[in-house]
């Protein structure tokens, strides 16, 4: 069977959006960002075709969902051209949500694509070292593996070092690229922290009253007390 010269993109949505939230909002909670999924998919397609110099076959979007029930974003994604959504479970443990089965599904898809020679190039958007065996298997079947990272908030790696070392090609999706489709939510409004008082204003407010002001204040207090005593 001859290999087909085209590219496939496998996206770990938990990694992509969690890393984007860390970069833009300072924490990996996806609730802290808004995503234009159409723009994100278009950006992934254009970048993949430019990097691999091959036409796109398909983008696989791997994500978790409670009871594997598609959420609104998944329903939007799965009707887009050239997009296939694969859902794992989303479970809550120790107060945190965790994906289950997503890495296994990515591994199975990657291995099957390579074995069937369905593409010449695979783009992986993930940081999970559990995909290392699948990546190595794809290479053994003659597939070029491109590993993409999201720019790390702290400037360090946010991917498995073994995965980075084994990939054929690497790319970092930087802040400028991410913000074409992802934005940090504006937390302004009633819950926003109040701005700190300017130092010069704070100094004025904390300064002692001048003697004249103190005397006037004492006189007003005395008059109020006399008026109260005179009432029947």
Q: Return the CATH number at 115.
A: 3.40.50.1010
Q: Are residues 147 and 217 in the same domain?
A: no
- When pLDDT is cut at 50, 70 and 90, the band that residue 195 belongs to is very low
Q: Are residues 42 and 67 in the same domain?
A: yes
Q: How far apart are CA 149 and CA 159, in angstroms?
A: 7
Query: Does 20 map to a domain?
Result: yes
Q: Are residues 149 and 213 in the same domain?
A: no
Q: Are residues 222 and 126 in the same domain?
A: no
pLDDT tens-digit series, residues 74-89: 999 999 999 999 999 9
- When pLDDT is cut at 50, 70 and 90, the band that residue 188 belongs to is low
Query: Does 193 map to a domain?
Result: no
Q: Name 64's Cβ contacts closer than 8 Å, sequence gap at least 6.
A: 14, 87, 88, 89, 90, 97, 98, 99, 100, 101, 102
Rounded mean pLDDT of 39-49?
Answer: 98
Rounded mean pLDDT of 92-97?
Answer: 73
Rounded mean pLDDT of 64-71?
Answer: 93
Q: Are residues 110 and 168 in the same domain?
A: yes
Count of domains forming the chain: 2
Query: Does 2 map to a domain?
Result: no
More confident residue, 186 or 7: 7
Mean pLDDT of the chain: 86
Query: Does 44 map to a domain?
Result: yes
Rounded mean pLDDT of 227-231?
Answer: 60
Query: Does 192 map to a domain?
Result: no
Domain span at residue 91? 7-184
In this prediction the pTM is: 0.79
Query: Does 174 map to a domain?
Result: yes
Q: Are residues 44 and 153 in the same domain?
A: yes
């Amino acid at each position: 069977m001859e290999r087909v010269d085209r590219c496939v993109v496998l996206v770990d949505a938990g990694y992509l959006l969690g890393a984007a939230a860390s970069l833009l909002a300072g924490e990996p909670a996806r609730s802290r960002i808004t995503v234009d999924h159409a723009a994100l998919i278009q950006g992934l397609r254009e970048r993949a075709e430019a990097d691999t110099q091959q036409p796109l076959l398909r983008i696989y979007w791997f994500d978790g969902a409670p009871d594997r029930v598609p959420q609104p974003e998944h329903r939007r994604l799965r009707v887009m051209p050239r997009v296939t959504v694969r859902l794992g479970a989303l479970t809550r443990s120790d107060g945190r949500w965790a994906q289950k089965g997503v890495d296994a599904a990515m591994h199975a898809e990657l291995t099957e694509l390579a074995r069937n020679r369905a593409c010449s190039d695979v783009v992986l958007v993930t940081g999970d070292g559990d995909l290392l065996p699948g990546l190595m298997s794809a290479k053994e079947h003659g597939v070029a593996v491109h590993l993409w990272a999201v720019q790390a908030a702290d400037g360090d790696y946010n991917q498995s070092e073994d995965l980075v070392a084994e990939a054929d090609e690497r790319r970092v999706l930087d802040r400028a690229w991410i913000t074409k489709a992802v934005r940090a939510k504006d937390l302004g409004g009633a819950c926003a922290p109040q701005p700190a008082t300017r130092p010069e204003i704070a100094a004025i407010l904390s300064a002692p009253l001048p003697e004249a002001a103190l005397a006037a204040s004492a006189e007003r207090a005395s008059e109020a007390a006399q008026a109260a005593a005179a009432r029947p």
